[in-house]
Amino acid sequence: MSITTRAAVVESGGEPFTLSDVQLDEPGPHEAVVRMVAAGLCHTDLGVASGGLPFPLPGVLGHEGAGVVEAVGSDVTGVAPGDHVVLSFTSCGDCRNCRDGHPAYCATWLPMNLIGGRRADGSSTISRAGEPLGGHFFGQSSFADRALVDERSLVKVDADVPLESIAPLGCGVQTGVGAVWNVLKPTLGSTVVVLGAGAVGLSAVMAAALTPATTIVAVDRVAERLSLAKELGATHTVNAAEADLAEALAGITGGQGADGVVETTGNVGVLRQGVDALAARGTLVIVGAPPFGSEVALDVNGMLGGKRVVGLTLGDAETQTFIPALVKLVKEGRLPLHRLISTYPFADIDQAVRDMGAGKAIKPVLTF
């Protein structure tokens, strides 16, 4: 018996999100039905909705869901009805990188999460009037009152923590925090530079503030975001609209350069400036995604001082251990995510999209 639910459907690239009744398929053995309580909006949702990625439309997006499990498939063991869950990306659990604890680099990552729109076996999870829709987005498609969720996207969390305060952990926050904790791993006295003070960049700033790094620099072109970055742990800020970035970073680091840089803007010009700002043995993490096919030139001799440039997906996190730890930090007030969040009723999703695009909301969270 299929479940009818209300979902935000994107009919074709560039069209708005419109609420529409859809039918969820019956849960497979490794799936669960989740009643959504909150869902974060991420730039990847907007990129797909604009038609910038080959995800099948009409379809249902949403990949930072948080809710309560209502029903589980026959082989689901990790969660039970009534459990609170944060939804994240899915993975096969069986390939080399999954087995090695790096599911964000799963061999099937792209079709299973971002562009396939179907289950691994090719069947669809959502339909409307008998026609299949694009679904299974990050194993969840959570812009809906109820979602059919892949078991590996489900992370059971502490039921005492309000779900609207932790929904963004599944993508944006995990990405920014993971860039610092899983890749840069700042050592005592080191310098971390975060390029771009959006949701991912500010998450990286908060994460850096929980390490022994002593200099944390936030860079953006919006003054209010820089003052927020300071409140969240940045020791220095650079307004790239006013100052020369290279000069400013040289001044802050005493000419030494940055030990770690997190690039969240997706702008290849900024990326190049970040690489040039690295100290010897410094690492730049690429988090922001420019359009497919983008390239960047590097000063090869400038790299010979042991510099590294590393790409990153979803913080390279093992979600089942990473997300519950972040929930604990949110609960204790040590990861003040609420400073990034603006909530909107689900029906106002298009207002949330506009506010995000206009830079008025850093991390919109839809509530159901």
Asked if 95 touches Zn ion (CB under 5 A), the answer is yes
**Binding residue count for Zn ion, defined by CB under 5 A:** 8
d(CA 124, CA 181) in angstroms, rounded, equals 36
Give the Å distances, CA to CA, from 65 to 143, 246, 367: 8, 39, 10
d(CA 61, CA 78) in angstroms, rounded, equals 24
- 95-103, 111-119, 192-200, 269-277 -> range binding Zn ion (CB under 5 A): 95-103
- The nearer residue to Zn ion, 258 or 341, going by C-beta atoms, is 341
CA 313, 344, 42: angle at the middle one, nearest 5?
Answer: 15
Q: Which of 133, 171, 200, 258 binds Zn ion (CB under 5 A)?
A: 171
Q: Which is nearer to Zn ion, 318 or 348 (CB)?
A: 318
Only segment of 41-49, 268-276, 295-303, 326-334 that touches Zn ion (CB under 5 A): 41-49
Tell me which residue of 40, 29, 100, 28 sits closest to 67, measured CA to CA: 40
Does 44 interact with Zn ion (rule: CB under 5 A)? Answer: yes
98 forms part of the interface with Zn ion (CB under 5 A): yes
Binding piece for Zn ion, criterion CB under 5 A, among 9-17, 102-110, 151-159, 161-169: 102-110
CA distance 72 to 32: 4
Kindly state the smallest distance separating residue 280's Cβ from Zn ion, in Å: 33
Site string for Zn ion, 126-165 (x = CB under 5 A): ----------------------------------------
How far apart are CB 90 and Zn ion at their closest, in Å?
9
Min dist. Cβ of residue 91 to Zn ion (A): 5
CB of 318: closest distance to Zn ion in angstroms?
12
Binding-site member from 5, 88, 90, 91 for Zn ion (CB under 5 A): 91
Nearer to Zn ion, 37 or 171 (CB): 171
Cβ proximity to Zn ion: between 99 and 339 the closer is 99
Q: Is 92 among the residues that bind Zn ion (CB under 5 A)?
A: yes
Of 60 and 213, which has the nearer Cβ to Zn ion? 60
The answer to the question of residue 106 lying near Zn ion (CB under 5 A) is: yes
Closest contact distance (angstroms) between CB of 78 and Zn ion is: 17
Cα pseudo-dihedral 61, 65, 69, 74, rounded to 10: 50
Chain residues binding Zn ion by CB under 5 A are: 42, 44, 91-92, 95, 98, 106, 171
